[in-house]
Amino acid sequence: MIRMSLSKPSTPLIFSAAVVFLGCAGEVADAADAETSSTKAWLVVEQSSSLSDVPTVRSHASLWFLRIAEEKDFDAATHLVSARLQLPPVGTCQPAGVADDQIASASISRVELAYAGDVHVRTQRASIPLTVRFFPNVADLVSGVMYTIHDLNDVQAPFDGWLSLTATGSGEFEPLEASTRPPPLPEKLSINGVTLPLVDTVVPREAPIWLGWAPDSDGDIIYIDIDPVPSASVDRIRCAFSDTGLAEIPRQAIPDTTEMMIAVHRSRDVALRSDRGEVGMAHFDLAVTSRVTFASP
C-alpha cells in the first residue's frame, strides 16, 4: 500500500494532468473515517504543434495528489483543481465557448493536495523534474501543493508509446514509479484527400469537408477546433469524432471567411501502472494545427 503524509513541504512544487490511484489510509480534513479516505494523483499532459513553415510546439504537464474522503468525490475534486475538457457528443459539432460544468461545493468534502517528494516525468528521450508550489485555495475546499513543469517545451510528443512518473516519497508516502501508454500525435492529416499543410491548394467553402488522419485506437477521441481567420474565441466551433481515420465536418461548422485555423486533437485517458498493478489514470491531449484557405465562391 502506498501511504501519504499530510505534512506540507517547506518549498512548493507543480505538475499537469492524469489520474493516479494510490490508495491511502489517513485522515482528511473535514472528512469522515480514515478507513474511507483515499489518495489519487490527477495528471494532465497537453501539447500543440503547428504545421507551418516555422513550426512551433507548446506543451504542458500538471499533477495533483488528491486526498479525498470517498471514491465518489474524485471526479468533483478534479473539477476543483483543473479545467475539464468539454466535448460535444461524438459525431456532432457545437460552439466551443460552453462553460465548464460547475460542481457544487456542497457535494464533496475537503480535498487535501499531498506532497510526494521529488517528482519527475520520464520519456524515451528525457527525464523532466517537476516544480512544486502551493495551490490557491478554492472555495475553502482545497489546500496543499501541486506539481508542474518549469518550461512549456520540456515535455514533448512523440512519446514513442511510453511515459513514466516517479516520486521519491515523503513521510508516509512511499516512493512511486508508474508508466503509461501515451497516444501518438495526429498524423497524415488531410482535407478532401489533400495532405496538410495546404500550400497551394484551397478547398470549397460551400460544402462539407472530409478530414482524414492515421487512426490509432478506437478508444481515443479526435476533436477538432475550427477558428475563422480573423477570429475571436467566441467564434470557435468544436467537433468530436471516434478515432476511425475519417470524419465529415458539416458545412454549418465551416466559417464564412477566406481562411480558417484547424486544430486536430487526439484525447486519451489511460491507466498508469506500477509493479503493484494499476495505480491511476493519465489524460493526454495532443494537437496539430494548420491554416486552411477557401476557394472564392
pLDDT band of residue 31 (cuts 50, 70, 90) is very low
Residue whose grid cell is 477570429: 231
CA 230 to chain CA mean position, Å: 27
**pLDDT for the residue numbered 153:** 65
Q: What is the pLDDT of residues 118-160, one digit of tens each?
A: 999 998 888 889 999 898 877 778 889 999 987 766 678 788 8
CB atoms within 10 A of CB 23: 15
Which residue would you say has higher pLDDT here, 128 or 199?
128
Strands 38-50, 142-149: pairing is: unpaired
**pLDDT for the residue numbered 3:** 36
And the C-alpha cell for 44?
494532465
Taking alpha carbons only, the member of 117, 114, 50, 51 closest to residue 81 is 114
List strand residue ranges (DSSP E) for 7-141, in order: 19-21, 38-50, 57-68, 93-95, 111-113, 119-122, 127-134
pLDDT at 96 over 90: no
Q: What is the dihedral of CA 82, 31, 139, 39, to 10 degrees?
A: -20
pLDDT at 18 over 80: no
CA angle 253, 254, 258 (to 5 degrees): 160
List strand residue ranges (DSSP E) for the chain, in order: 19-21, 38-50, 57-68, 93-95, 111-113, 119-122, 127-134, 142-149, 163-167, 176-180, 190-191, 194-195, 209-212, 221-229, 237-242, 246-249, 259-274, 277-293
Quick one: DSSP state of residue 5? -
Max mean pLDDT among 71-75, 83-87, 116-120 falls in: 116-120
pLDDT band of residue 22 (cuts 50, 70, 90) is very low
Max mean pLDDT among 16-20, 66-70, 173-177, 249-253 falls in: 249-253
**pLDDT for the residue numbered 214:** 95
- How far is it, in rounded angstroms, from Cα 132 to Cα 288? 29
Looking at this protein, which amino acid is placed at residue 67?
R
**pLDDT for the residue numbered 199:** 53
Helices (H), 95-134: none
- How far is it, in rounded angstroms, from Cα 59 to Cα 156? 6
Max mean pLDDT among 75-79, 106-110, 207-211 falls in: 207-211
Which residue would you say has higher pLDDT here, 282 or 172?
282
**pLDDT for the residue numbered 136:** 81
Question: Phi, psi (5° rounding) for residue 278?
Answer: -75, 125
Percent of the chain at pLDDT > 90 equals 31
- Partners of residue 131 on adjacent β-strands: 14, 148
Q: How far is CA 203 from CA 213, 254, 260, 293, in A?
A: 17, 11, 11, 7
Question: Phi, psi (5° rounding) for residue 234?
Answer: -70, -15
pLDDT band of residue 54 (cuts 50, 70, 90) is low
- Is the distance from CB of 82 to CB of 42 less than 8 angstroms? yes
pLDDT band of residue 30 (cuts 50, 70, 90) is very low
Residues 38-76 as b or e (16 or more Cβ within 10 Å = b)? bbbbbbbbbbbbbbeeeeeeebbbbbbbbbbbeeebbeb
Q: How far is CA 93 from CA 5, 99, 171, 196, in A?
A: 45, 16, 48, 21
